[in-house]
Amino acid sequence: MPSIRVLLCLIFIFLVHGSFAWLNNQSQDAGTDVPSGKLMSLSFAPFREGFSPLEEKFPLPEHIDEDLRLLADKTESIRTYSSLGGQQPTPALARKHGLKMIQGAWLGYGYKDNSNEVNALIKSANENPDVVKRVIVGNEVLLRGDMDVDRLIGYIREVKKAVKQPVSYADVWSMYMKYPKLINEVDFITIHILPYWEDEPISVENASQHLEKIVKQVEDEARGIAPGKPILIGESGWPSAGRQRGMAIPGVVNEAKFIRGMIQVANRHGFDYNIVEAFNQPWKSELEGVVGANWGLFSADREPVFPLTGPVNETPNWPIRFAVATLIWLLAIARYSKKLEQASLIRVLAFFTLAQVFSVCLVTLADFLWYTSYSAWQRLYTVALVIANTILGALLLERGSDILIDKPGSIKLANSLRAGYLIFILLALYKTYGLAMNGRYLSFPIEQFAIPAFGVIGLIACLWLKERKFNGRVLAFDSLIGGNLQSRRDRFLAYLLSFGAIALILGEVKAFMDGRDFIQAHPGFSEGLPFALSYTLYNQQLLGWLVCLLMLSLPFWTQHRSKQDA
């Protein structure tokens, strides 16, 4: 085939890919700019990678100093959650950088730990009245079930007697509705409103209205107990990465939209707010997965996730991703261009397209998994997945090129493809049943299985171009890999993948229907089921994962044995 035709295919695919990447990565309007680019208050937990309160590896004073220097031009105040655990230097360093504090005491099960925290809070508040302007005794203690409300009130009263600053307790808004006597005990009502985590998740487009609705409910409740008591939204924010919940979609642009919209609501109603949080928290990934670790204005590496003013780009490094994907694609083309020189133009175009899709999937996988890896084990998993996808992609390209030049299938290649797919299918089953059983914090692993899924589609397309007909042979796994290796027992894999898909849907529905606020809003199975189903089936990530499972199972539903090689 003349080289000019190969060049034309290359130019065509390059322009299509480049145009799509450019159009899909335009900066977006994220709403009204933050006034002066500065926030009222930010949750501050200075835990970097390798530090964790769970392992009692606490931040160093120099870390706190560096972080507060970074935050000084972003916020007027910070909210801390503990007065111990390495955070004792925070008030002095906040003073150094011109920041005020809402200081907290972390309460839990242990009486001794609670006593130490309360004493440290009292000491800090009394020694730093110019910095510590408000104090919060306990954070979501009632939500976690760590203590009853009367014991909590005892700690609140103890602190109120000992400090001059206003005292509060922080929890999700529904806890103040459940325990209205708390309203009398605190000097200001601190509520957490996190639309993403609501039992009925709220879309970012409706989040501002939801905030106004909840604040009004709390105001109405407080009006009958303590009229005019101030309200602080102690936590409100949006994740920049992680799993979708119903209509609540994590993302950089959505995080910016939510925060800017929330500030507009706060300005209209005149109440205080604190945004969760300043920095992404690597340690939270162990408990809350990708989504729990990605609520910060800054990444774990202390790089801004998005600007507080101006348009916002979901993937600001897309030109680098485009360049790397194009380089990988060109290397693949260089490997196979001579082999395909006698193929028709449409076959060459199909192969080049498949190679481009694989390169984009590989770069997306590597970039996303590495960004959301926060430990040696997580990075090891990332490297293993990238290597496995690279090897499988290379095998798929080899098989695709054989089909397109009508070369008989290779048993060695077929065995390698079969082994590769079995490994990915076993991993997919593990991921799927994990999501079905307890998927609240687990991400849908679409990026990890994009190459195996697109590989099935690509080989089907190659066989169709070869045979010009669409039948069971084109879909069968032994035809796709080029060897009669398919066993009747392989149908069992299709059953497991299909049952996993069903279990995933049922698990997601059940998770919604078990929510306390969901049950209150929709009592009864028949009333709640339609809402839970709608939230489940709206989930684009869940649907994307179901498509991956369908693609992985499709070849195993069709068993077509043939003496003729594919």
Secondary structure (H, E, C), 404-446? HCCCCCCHHHHHHHHHHHHHHHHHHHHHHHHHHHHCCCCCCCC
Percent of the chain with pLDDT over 90: 85
For residues 210 and 300, what is the distance between their CA atoms, to the nearest angstrom?
29
Which residue type sits at 18? G
Give the residue-averaged pLDDT of 200-215: 95
Which residue type sits at 160? K
Whether the pLDDT of residue 292 is over 80: the answer is yes
458-478 exposure pattern, b = at least 16 Cβ within 10 A, e = fewer: bbbbbbbbeeeeeeebbbbbb
Q: How confident is the model at residue 559 (pLDDT cuts 50, 70, 90)?
A: low
Q: What pLDDT digit, counting tens, does each position of 467-516 carry?
A: 877 777 788 898 899 887 767 778 899 999 999 999 999 999 999 999 98
Q: What pLDDT digit, counting tens, does each position of 386-438 carry?
A: 999 999 999 999 999 999 999 988 999 999 999 999 999 999 999 999 999 99
Q: How confident is the model at residue 564 (pLDDT cuts 50, 70, 90)?
A: very low
Let me know: does 82 contact 102? Beta carbons within 8 Å.
no
Whether the pLDDT of residue 561 is over 60: the answer is no
Residue 396 pLDDT: 98
Q: What pLDDT digit, counting tens, does each position of 306-342 carry?
A: 999 999 999 999 999 999 999 999 999 999 988 888 8
Let me know: does 67 contact 46? Beta carbons within 8 Å.
yes
Could you tell me which of 388, 377, 518, 531 has the C-alpha nearest to residue 450?
Answer: 388
Let me know: does 520 contact 178? Beta carbons within 8 Å.
no
Percent of the chain with pLDDT over 70: 98
For residues 86 and 88, what is the distance between their CA atoms, to the nearest angstrom?
6
Q: How confident is the model at residue 566 (pLDDT cuts 50, 70, 90)?
A: very low
Give the residue-averaged pLDDT of 96-123: 96
Whether the pLDDT of residue 145 is over 90: the answer is yes
Let me know: does 73 contact 63? Beta carbons within 8 Å.
no
Angstrom CA distances, 554 to 22, 127, 148, 182, stand at: 33, 68, 53, 57
Residue 152 pLDDT: 97
For residues 503 and 530, what is the distance between their CA atoms, to the nearest angstrom?
17
Q: What pLDDT digit, counting tens, does each position of 20-62 carry?
A: 999 999 999 999 998 777 899 999 999 999 999 999 999 999 9
Whether residue 277 has a cis bond before it, omega within 30° of 0: yes
Whether the pLDDT of residue 249 is over 70: the answer is yes
Q: What is the mean pLDDT of the chain?
A: 93
Residue 14 pLDDT: 94
Residue 4 pLDDT: 78
Residue 454 pLDDT: 98
Let me know: does 315 contact 25? Beta carbons within 8 Å.
yes
Residue 263 pLDDT: 92
Whether the pLDDT of residue 70 is over 60: the answer is yes
All residues at 6 or more sequence positions from 177 whose CB lies less than 8 Å from its CB, including other chains: 217, 218, 221
For residues 270 and 215, what is the distance between their CA atoms, to the nearest angstrom?
11
Residue 532 pLDDT: 97
Tokens 């000992």 label which residue?
A: 162
Ramachandran quadrant class, 228 (left: phi over 0; alpha: psi -120 to 50; beta: rest): left
Give the residue-averaged pLDDT of 83-105: 97
Whether the pLDDT of residue 524 is over 50: the answer is yes
Give the residue-averaged pLDDT of 186-205: 96
Residue 469 pLDDT: 77
Q: Is 73 helix (H, G, I), strand (E, B) or coil?
A: coil
Whether the pLDDT of residue 565 is over 70: the answer is no
Give the residue-averaged pLDDT of 91-97: 98
Helix (H) / strand (E) element for 3: namely: helix 3-24
Q: Which of 93-107, 158-172, 400-414, 549-563 has the lowest average pLDDT?
A: 549-563
Angstrom CA distances, 454 to 10, 457, 545, stand at: 20, 5, 13
Whether the pLDDT of residue 159 is over 60: the answer is yes
Q: Read out DSSP for 124-170?
A: HHHH-TTTEEEEEEEESHHHHTSS-HHHHHHHHHHHHHH-SS-EEEE
Residue 305 pLDDT: 96
Which tops the pLDDT comparison, 1 or 314?
A: 314
Q: Read out DSSP for 446-472?
A: TGGGHHHHHHHHHHHHHHHHHHS--SH
